[in-house]
Amino acid sequence: MPKKMEHEEGSVPRTVAISQLGTTLGRARCPQPAQIARMRQSLTTHGQLTPVIAVEREGKLELVDGFKRRAAAAQMGLTELAVSVRSLDERGQWAAMLTLNRPSGSLSVLEEALILRELWHSGLVQVELAQMLGRHKSWVSRRLGLVERLHADLVEWVRTGLMSAGTARRLMVLPAGNQLELAAVVNRAGLSTEETELLVSLWRKASDAAVRRCLLSEPRAALAQVLPEKAPPPDPRLSLGGQALARALHILRGAGHRVLEGLRKPPPPAELRLVTRDMRATASLLAEVAVALGSASKCASSAASDAPSAMPTSADC
């Protein structure tokens, strides 16, 4: 631990066992694994530069600020931390959590919302919250709206590191039940925040249940149709032409799934008549594609069986 440690004037840090630092107030914090890993690196390199902040409640210390430091220190096997104990009431502890982190901007929008909700539940109205924190009423309103619209289970996903706050915010525009449904899809497919936003947009625009089912069952294929560059990276052994073919096949499969879903429960005959020309043109084109795919497959099989000899060219096939 450094010989000199920064601390607030009049507040002398004292050494406290990590096990004695309660984390009840951590219900309003969402430390991510990457943040804790960075804090571990900082503690390893520099030691503890500033004391964590705590309040005393019924003879016990509860952390107000320093949750990432506590988690990182525990992972490193450290047993003690320097602690500055403040005299704060219930509202003051939450306000301090916001103000202490304001200069560094280390709180996510969701964390700010969770802290504001604690203050709101203490009986303060939005105008009072804004005055206490030196913020505009709209700043308070937007954040309270965020946490009230986000499904409680998703809040826990963010708190426990199962989902980033940014990704969860993209799901907030959906009804509560659908938030969980798409969140499961996002996690299973490993979608980024940007991809999640696009998937949510496609899902909201789709009025047909079959299309929505397709979006949920084949999210990456659906995204590849809108953004071809989002298709899985092609095999590096492929030439530029081969890579283009691989991307086109990926998009075609995604579109094929959507067409099949739409035809399993087709629209009324009157509507089908309106798209008859498109259906016939598509069927004709797909027939040609099927022939070309069959020919290419035979070529590939022939090349595999003749592996010891020279690879046949496309002309040979």
Query: Which of the following CATH numbers is that of domain 1-87: 3.40.50.720, 3.30.1490.100, 3.40.50.150, 3.90.1530.10?
Result: 3.90.1530.10
Which pLDDT value is given to residue 177? 84
What's the chain's average pLDDT? 85
| CA atoms of 126 and 176, how far apart (whole Å) | 24
Which pLDDT value is given to residue 310? 44
Q: How confident is the model at residue 11 (pLDDT cuts 50, 70, 90)?
A: low
Note the pTM of the prediction, 2 decimals. Answer: 0.61
Cβ atoms 317, 298 nearer than 8 A: yes
What's phi and psi for 267, nearest 5 deg? Answer: -70, 175
pLDDT at 167 > cutoff 80: yes
pLDDT at 43 > cutoff 90: yes
Q: Between these two residues, 314 and 129, which has the higher pLDDT value?
A: 129
> Where exactly are the structural domains of the chain?
1-87, 206-267
Q: Between these two residues, 124 and 258, which has the higher pLDDT value?
A: 124
What number is the average pLDDT over the span 287-309? Answer: 79
Reference 279, options 295, 297, 260; nearest CA is 260
pLDDT at 236 > cutoff 80: no
Which pLDDT value is given to residue 234? 64
Which pLDDT value is given to residue 232? 59
pLDDT at 198 > cutoff 50: yes
Cβ atoms 119, 144 nearer than 8 A: no
Q: How confident is the model at residue 34 (pLDDT cuts 50, 70, 90)?
A: confident
> Tens digit of pLDDT for each residue in 60-69?
999 999 999 9
Which pLDDT value is given to residue 315? 47
